[in-house]
Amino acid sequence: MNKLPKILVSCPTASAKNYIALQWILNTQKFTYPNYDVVVFNNDDDNGKNAEWLNKIAIENGLLNFKAIHYSDKTHSTIIERMCISHNLCRELTINGGYSHLLHLESDVICPNDALQNLYIHNKKVVGALYYRDSGKSRRLMAQRRISRSSKNIITENFLPNEDAFFVDGTLKTVAHLGLGCVLISVDVLKDMPFRYIDGVDMHPDSYFAEDCFRKNIKIFADTNIICEHNNEDWDIYGLNWK
């Protein structure tokens, strides 16, 4: 019997997400898919102290399938720049480490134990689970549909709250944008498509990833049977500047 390919579970993180760090690490250790590694890239400008802390709590809890790697570059001052570099560190490790896929699982997203297994079974180049974003009255599903296209523009729109019940029906569906909260990406896609951002544009790498998939005719699938728990807090309370 052939061994299932090894998958990398990875994401950028920082001390701003420490409120959920142990729960996130514990969650990744319970996956039913049998062959995977968990590596996070911590981008705090702290000489690696938070990465050391993450590794320490993992060891203290007997979790050996986890590693935090420190990344910091003072020449990249905005969080969008640092996030993009961290996304690409995940990408490069997937390519150079001999992994078949990257499960990009954001460090505040808790997924069902069988999520990785079920996403892999679909055998798609890009397929992800659902989760909700923002808070209060702004809380909404992180999934967008494409409503207009041209040679230069791609216009997408979020599903409205009253449409969730019709969209989330347990089937596999194509979407325009699914974020990077819990998405399984084939290494073949990553080899051809680095994460990117544009200086001075308030648009994050996940949006450019969706745009690049569209331009390269790579379909993004959403498994509407998998709903993740998104334990997000407003970044503003940490004094982080998005601009």
Mean pLDDT of 200-214: 89
What is the Cα–Cα distance from 224 to 236, expressed in whole angstroms?
Answer: 30
Mean pLDDT to the nearest integer, 198-222: 90
Give me the mean pLDDT over the 174-181 stretch: 92
Q: Residue 137's pLDDT is what?
A: 57
Q: Specify if 65 maps to a domain.
A: yes
- The answer to whether residue 59 is domain-embedded is yes
Q: What is the CATH number of the domain that holds 12?
A: 3.90.550.10
The larger pLDDT score, comparing residue 110 to residue 79, is at 110
Residue 2 covered by a domain: no
Is residue 231 situated within a structural domain? Answer: yes
Q: 21 lies in which domain range?
A: 7-238
In this prediction, residue 218 has a pLDDT band, given cuts at 50, 70 and 90, of: very high
Residue 92 lies in a domain: yes
The distance in angstroms from the start CA to the end CA of the chain is 51
Query: Is 51 a member of any domain?
Result: yes
What pLDDT, on the 0 to 100 scale, is given for residue 140?
63
Share of the chain above pLDDT 70, in %: 83
| DSSP code for 17 | G
Residue 238 has pLDDT above 90, yes or no: no
- Which comes out higher in pLDDT, residue 192 or 148? 192
Judged against a pLDDT cut of 90, whether residue 162 lies above it is answered with: no
Q: Cα(102)–Cα(12) distance, rounded to whole angstroms?
A: 13
Report yes or no on 209 lying in a domain. Answer: yes
Query: In the predicted model, is pLDDT for residue 236 greater than 80?
Result: no
Q: Select the more confidently predicted residue: 26 or 139.
A: 26
Mean pLDDT across the chain, nearest whole number?
Answer: 87
Per-residue model confidence as pLDDT tens digits over 125-160: 999 999 887 655 556 677 777 655 555 556 677 776
Which residue did the predictor score with more confidence, 168 or 106? 106
153, burial (CB in 10 Å: exposed 0-12, middle 13-18, buried 19+):
exposed
By three-state DSSP, how is residue 46 classified? coil
> What number is the average pLDDT over the span 103-128?
97
The answer to whether residue 24 sits within a structural domain is: yes
CA 110 to chain centroid: 11
**Total domains present in the chain:** 1
pLDDT of residue 10: 98
The pLDDT assigned to 202 comes to 81
